[in-house]
Amino acid sequence: MNLSAHPCFNDKARHTFGRIHLPVAPRCNVQCKFCNRKFDCVNESRPGVTSGILSPYQALVYLDEVIKVKPNIAVVGIAGPGDPFANPEETLETLRQVRTKYPEMLLCVASNGLDIGPHLDELARLKVSHVTITVNAVDPAIGAKIYSWVRYGKRVRRSDEGARLLLENQLKAIAGLKDRDITVKINSIIIPGINDQHIPEVAAKMAELKVDILNCVAYYPNQGAAFEDIPEPSKEMIQEVRGRAGKYLPQMHHCTRCRADAVGLLGETMNMNLINLLQNCEKLPEPPAVSGTPEVGTGPRPYVAVASMEGVLVNQHLGEAYQLLIYGREKDKISLVGTRQAPEPGGGMERWESLSHLIKDCHTLMGSGIGENPRRVLTTGGVNVLVLEGLIEDAVKGVFDGSNINYMLKRQTKACGAGCGGDGGGCD
């Protein structure tokens, strides 16, 4: 994982490494007076704009397809179009799936910081390396001019009360992120006549919290927003604000005000083919929901996962499998429906929990060997684990048909690691 490959945090990286924002978080918990979120405006490049909203499942399909045409994608981010932690289930599920399938990918989120606090440990566990928090004021009186309301829990707070609550949560979140060694960028929107003279104070406070970089972003007028009549800050104002704030923190100078569905290098024009792809993925039907452990070959777990070295035999120890073959049955025909990248070795129990999630739509997993830890995690997760050897075709057909395949079953009499070519460390 190359932490320097994030183009928003490293100016040199932006010419080489791309990023993708997955728009899985439509709800927001703060109403900023400068914001009017439009979900479909291909001619605008700014936060809050996207051409589609994806579920975590759809987002992973979309990511798979984008990487085929843009293999330089190094960062997967979630930046709205609302706030990621006003949509915590969708956000964290998407991050889990990306981390499982693309273990070397950088993960980042951009948030207002109001509701991120309860999820800091999970972000660290998922190795989210970069987080952006938007802090427009460290004085509640100024914050009250910027925010119409703040929704925390089931209550809506307005004026100074809302601004004060938001600030308190932001400061706690930033401190918590730094305690977990997560790189933090602060975005501060320069709003003429509102906070332009206040941003150096923001910078000073953020420096106290050991923030890594500050991005002073030029306010952009949005029709229909409360601040629509406030003009953009001049270049001179932007330079002056960055100069004063730069006394406290390094400044980001290459921000392109990314959309919530941005793809590619910073500043790259939105590709209509990718917009069409996003909208097509938005229409994908969701896989059946997992509910308990269904009968073999039926219900919400219709697939079988197989560990195989060459795709013909069930002959690979699960600890050595870098991918799993997924088989399904439609009517009387059994076929390979796809492959899935297995989590990398060395993750301990988290590796097997990730694998259990990866094959949550499979009722059975087959391999020539399996350690006690993965067996326990997978079984608890509702997966029937079979240790056997033989032709994949015969084994899978036998499971789907419910026929006797006892002759293929293999008794594990050796300690984990003794029956595979590895060092025994991959099955912990």
Say if CB 83 and CB 116 are below 8 A apart.
no
Check whether the bond before 345 is cis (ω within 30° of 0): no
Q: Does the CA dihedral 68-73-74-76 come out positive or negative?
A: negative
Structural class in CATH, domain 303-427: alpha beta
User: Distance between CA 1 and CA 222 in Å, rounded?
Assistant: 38
Domains 3-282 and 303-427 share a fold: no
Which residue is it, tokens 């909203």? Answer: 53
- For 9, phi then psi, to 5°, come to -105, -10
Sorted by where each begins, the domain ranges of the chain are 3-282, 303-427
Say if CB 166 and CB 233 are below 8 A apart.
no
pLDDT the model gives residue 1: 54
Q: What is the DSSP code string of 320-356?
A: G-SEEEEEEEETTEEEEEEEEEPPPTT-THHHHHHHH
pLDDT the model gives residue 294: 36
**pTM for this prediction:** 0.65
Tokens (6 digits) for 137: 């004021």
pLDDT the model gives residue 272: 82
pLDDT the model gives residue 132: 94
CA distances from 402 to 294, 295, 391, 408 (A): 13, 10, 16, 14
pLDDT the model gives residue 403: 83
**According to the CATH classification, is domain 3-282 in 3.20.20.70?**
yes
pLDDT the model gives residue 35: 81
Q: Does the CA dihedral 302-304-305-310 come out positive or negative?
A: negative
Mean pLDDT for back-to-back runs of 10 residues, the chain (428 residues): 59 69 91 70 53 90 91 90 92 91 91 96 94 96 94 88 96 97 94 95 97 91 82 93 95 71 73 86 70 42 91 92 90 86 83 90 93 87 89 91 84 45 42
pLDDT the model gives residue 316: 93
User: Distance between CA 181 and CA 179 in Å, rounded?
Assistant: 6
Q: Within 10 Å of residue 289's Cβ, how many Cβ atoms?
A: 8
pLDDT the model gives residue 87: 92
